[in-house]
Copies of this chain bind each other. A is one copy, B any other.
Amino acid sequence: MVQYNIALIGFGGVNRAFAELVAERNNRWRTELGFQLNIVAVTDLNLGSVVSANGIDARMLIETRFERGGFAKLSGGSAEADNEQVIRQAPADIVAEATFTNPYDGEPAVSHCRWALESGRHVITTNKGPVALAAADLKALARRNHVSFEYEGAVMSGTPVIRMAKTMLAGSGLNGFEGILNGTSNFVLGRMESGLGFSEAIGEAQALGYAEADPTADVEGHDVRLKVVILANELLGATLTPGDVSCRGISSLTVGDIESAAKERCRWKLIGSAIRGEDGRIEASVAPRRLALDHPLAGVGGAINAVSINTDLLGAVTVTGPGAGRVETAYALLSDIVAIHRAVHVNKEAAE
């Protein structure tokens, strides 16, 4: 039986949900997927770090209520999160990076990825920062070290988009995409259609846990902009940085705008898009757009996300699914491991 030893960097919502999945589903995955997972290290800014070559019981990890520095109480544990040492030295095959997204320089997640790849570990991540801001460098580093860098969860959580488009639509002539890529702003627009003002709708999203205390990144389009950079670079071969993407959010939309759209059988949506022009240049933007109700993205409601990928040979192919959520994002990490397994292990079988 193939076993992958995993180091979890960051033990917030996503990696915690991933540990829950390991606790609940490892047996099933063994049968269904042909491998099992073994958590050998965890680091977290608050909790400290723990390393165990034999594996750390996933159920204990998720059921224990650790205090600040609480990993120190575990065998092989410490109150400090020495990420670099753990990433470079823990006996992990795969490092799962799920710390916070830094939209400016991607740190410290970019360094986490770099240390792991340099040390010959595969990297899987749900963190938009390293993928939007340093993907080219990290991919080159992965190639040089004969390991994989996988990041399906950076866009639309576990809904397959990046890998789907690159592998399943290869040769179809990808030339653009448009998507609803932020559940919070989509939820707010939906509530405004029911008559709420912008601030009231935001308040409701915050009460439901959809929006953060500072909702700027969601409603001003900054979160979508990072995702547009990722999709444009991955799907269209662009080399965009966030500064290349014009960005306008939904905060300037009034109840009057929403109502007048509805009268004309239209609906406002925050759309992230990119298109390859005649000259080959990629033009990318984030902006509210008034869609006719029969537009493929007009019916995407609530916290659901969707991307419509435009191709020469198939026209538009649209993928709709969850855009966020702890378990949904943790599944993206599993899908990255499935991809690594396919690349590594299937190849090994072929060589035998």
A347 to B347: give the CA distance in the assembly, Å.
Answer: 5
The stretch among A4-12, A68-76, A166-174, A222-230 that forms the contact with chain B is: A166-174
Chain B residues with CB under 8 Å of A351's CB are 347, 350-351
With CB as the reference atom, state the residue of chain B lying closest to A294.
Answer: B301
Chain B residues with CB under 8 Å of A334's CB are 171-172
Min CB gap A143→B, angstroms: 13
Q: How many interface residues does A have (CB within 8 Å)? A: 46
Chain B residues with CB under 8 Å of A318's CB are 318-321
Q: Are A320 and B321 closer than 8 Å at their CB atoms?
A: no
A37 to B240: give the CA distance in the assembly, Å.
Answer: 33
Chain B residues with CB under 8 Å of A322's CB are 314-315, 317
The stretch among A83-91, A157-165, A279-287 that forms the contact with chain B is: A157-165
Chain B residues with CB under 8 Å of A53's CB are none
Q: Tell me if A316 is interfacial: C-beta within 8 Å of chain B.
A: yes
Chain B residues with CB under 8 Å of A301's CB are 294
Min CB gap A318→B, angstroms: 4
> Known: A347-B350, A350-B351. Is A171-B320 also a contact (CB below 8 A)?
no
Chain B residues with CB under 8 Å of A331's CB are 171-172, 313-314
Interface residues of A in 318-348 (CB under 8 A from B): 318-322, 327-328, 330-331, 334-335, 338, 342-343, 346-348
Q: Are A315 and B320 closer than 8 Å at their CB atoms?
A: no
